């Protein structure tokens, strides 16, 4: 059977450039296409599907966060194929965390694969992982700082991340184990700011097969087999047991649950955004929230408002226990004193308000209307 071709290209051109189109390769490309098409310049629509030999140098740029593993490598290959057809430029960012011997060589190899795929520019960012908050959190913080900087320096329209359906299922299970609420169980968003995750509906096995079918050799991170990491234990032990005992399709069911919870979370956030200016007043070194409005709302909305205010004003995330303690200043007031929260934030009941500040001041300032 001759190689499958895209509309508008010859079999000879397709054969010289890529292997036969297989279902795994098609699945990954389709997922990437769904994210890239909305970013395409208007003039690219008419040429969609035609072979594009050259993309304008001022076309919008998308960057792939490339580790060299099968997920990000399959994503990079699909993006290299789909981006020109959407009138977009495509590049890559390789982040070297420096956590393993030979990490620089691994990063250089991934960068070389990106260039062979036709991605340009290809950036290699070396980061320092300080270990604060644990190795996973510290590495993640350093990685996203490097990706943010790469996106700013190249004026990228979007950064594509290689998280798969399996990653999403693992995230939901970890959130469930931590008891961290619906926002955590909602998992990773498909789009958040400059970041997009095209492969959240694609299984990890598909990306592995896509790489094999394309003749790409991914790097296998030894950390992904280290049981000292909770995510690895969920991947290698917990999910297989659930599949064996409850039947196949557990990962997909977890992802469907995440999608439903994210819809709920987005609805709550939209409601809070509408309320927030009406219920808050400026306070010295902080912000004051109306007790009357907090008391009048259901517990779910009241507690989300508290978390939203603390998060947006001070960049601090509250646990459920801490959130409930703040809520008691509204619902179970009996003269208790200020609450000290993470990040040097203090919550105090003062008259008709709960005041959040960094200095302990409870003075509510006049609001400019």
Rounded Cα–Cα distance for residues 303 and 272 (Å): 11
**Residue 318 near residue 310 (C-beta atoms within 8 A):** yes
Q: Is 68 annotated as a binding residue?
A: yes
Taking CA 251 as the corner, what is the angle to CA 245 and CA 255, rounded to the nearest 5 degrees? 140
**Residue 335 near residue 272 (C-beta atoms within 8 A):** no
Cβ burial, residue 69 (10 Å; 0-12/13-18/19+): buried
Q: Is 180 annotated as a binding residue?
A: no
Rounded Cα–Cα distance for residues 130 and 218 (Å): 27
Query: Across the beta sheet with 122-126, what order do the strands follow?
Result: 122-126, 89-96, 61-65, 158-160, 195-196, 191-192
Q: Is 72 annotated as a binding residue?
A: yes
Strand partners, 62: 90, 158
> Strand 89-96 and strand 61-65: pairing?
parallel
Q: Is 218 annotated as a binding residue?
A: no
- Residue 352 has φ and ψ, to the nearest 5°, of -90, 15
Q: Is 60 annotated as a binding residue?
A: no
Residue carrying structure tokens 């590495």: 139
Least Cα distance to 339 among 352, 322, 319 occurs for 322
Q: Is 112 annotated as a binding residue?
A: no
Helices (H) and strands (E) in the chain, counts: 14, 11
Binding-site sequence positions for ATP: 67-72
| Residues in binding site | 67-72
């Amino acid at each position: 059977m001759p190689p499958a071709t895209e509309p508008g290209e010859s079999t000879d051109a397709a054969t010289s450039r890529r292997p036969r189109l297989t279902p795994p390769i098609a699945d990954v490309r389709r997922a990437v296409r769904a994210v890239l098409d909305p970013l395409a310049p208007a003039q690219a629509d008419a040429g969609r599907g035609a072979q594009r030999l050259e993309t304008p140098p001022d076309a919008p740029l998308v960057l792939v966060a490339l580790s060299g593993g099968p997920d990000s490598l399959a994503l990079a290959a699909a993006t290299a194929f789909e981006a020109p057809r959407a009138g977009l430029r495509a590049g890559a960012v390789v982040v070297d965390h420096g956590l393993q011997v030979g990490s620089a060589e691994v990063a250089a190899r991934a960068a070389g694969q990106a260039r062979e795929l036709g991605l340009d520019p290809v950036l290699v960012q070396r980061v320092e992982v300080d270990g604060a908050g644990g190795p996973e959190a510290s590495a993640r913080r350093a990685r996203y700082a490097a990706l943010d900087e790469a996106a700013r320096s190249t004026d990228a329209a979007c950064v594509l991340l290689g998280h798969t359906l399996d990653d999403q299922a693992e995230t939901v299970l970890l959130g469930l184990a931590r008891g961290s609420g619906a926002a955590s169980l909602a998992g990773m968003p498909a789009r958040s700011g400059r970041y997009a995750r095209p492969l959240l509906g694609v299984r990890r096995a598909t990306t592995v097969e896509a790489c094999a079918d394309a003749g790409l050799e991914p790097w296998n991170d030894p950390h992904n087999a280290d049981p000292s990491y909770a995510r690895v234990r969920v991947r290698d032990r917990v999910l297989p047991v659930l599949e064996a005992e409850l039947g196949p399709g557990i990962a997909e069911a977890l992802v469907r649950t995440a999608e439903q919870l994210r819809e709920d979370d987005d609805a709550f956030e939209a409601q809070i955004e509408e309320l927030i200016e009406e219920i808050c007043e400026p306070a010295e070194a902080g912000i004051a929230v109306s007790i009357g409005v907090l008391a009048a709302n259901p517990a779910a909305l009241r507690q989300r408002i508290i978390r939203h205010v603390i998060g947006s004003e001070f960049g601090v995330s509250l646990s459920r226990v801490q959130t409930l303690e703040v809520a008691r200043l509204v619902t179970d007031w009996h003269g208790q004193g200020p609450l000290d929260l993470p990040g040097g934030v203090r919550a105090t009941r003062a008259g008709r308000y709960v005041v959040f500040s960094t200095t302990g001041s409870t003075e509510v300032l006049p609001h400019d209307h």
